[in-house]
Amino acid sequence: MEWVWWTSNSVNIIVNFIGTVGNSVLIYMILKKTPAPMISYSVLLFNNAICDLLICITTVLALQRKSVDEQYYNTYKFKRIAALALLHKKFKMLPGF
């Protein structure tokens, strides 16, 4: 079942990367290239593009991680990525994170 995990994460990363690039281009086009008659509609497009961009980024950051517990066999847990974890000398991870 290892291939299921690899396939799922690979597809997730590829699709969200395409979504991030596409929404970034859309936001640039809305901000720089919107014609005058489309200004009111561009607000709706901009809001949707921002929400989609944030969803794509957070989905990649919340990927399913593989972990091994001593009491159990291989288990899959969702682990949140914390920016403070980079400072691991001063920050202790809580159990379950």
Residue 60 within any structural domain of the chain: yes
Question: What digits encode the pLDDT tens for the residues 39-85?
Answer: 999 999 999 999 999 999 999 888 766 655 545 544 444 444 444 44
Copy the structure tokens of residue 86: 């980079």
Copy the structure tokens of residue 10: 């690979």
Residue 95 within any structural domain of the chain: no
Residue 73 within any structural domain of the chain: no
Provide DSSP, 24-71.
Answer: HHHHHHHHHH--GGGHHHHHHHHHHHHHHHHHHHHHHHT-EEEEE-SS
The count of domains in the chain is: 1
Return the CA Rg of the chain. Answer: 19
Residue 74 within any structural domain of the chain: no
pTM for this one? 0.64
Give the whole-angstrom CA distance, residue 94 versus residue 97: 6
Residue 27 within any structural domain of the chain: yes
Residue 69 within any structural domain of the chain: no
Residue 26 within any structural domain of the chain: yes
Question: What digits encode the pLDDT tens for the residues 16-33?
Answer: 999 999 999 999 999 999
Q: Which domain holds residue 8?
A: 2-64
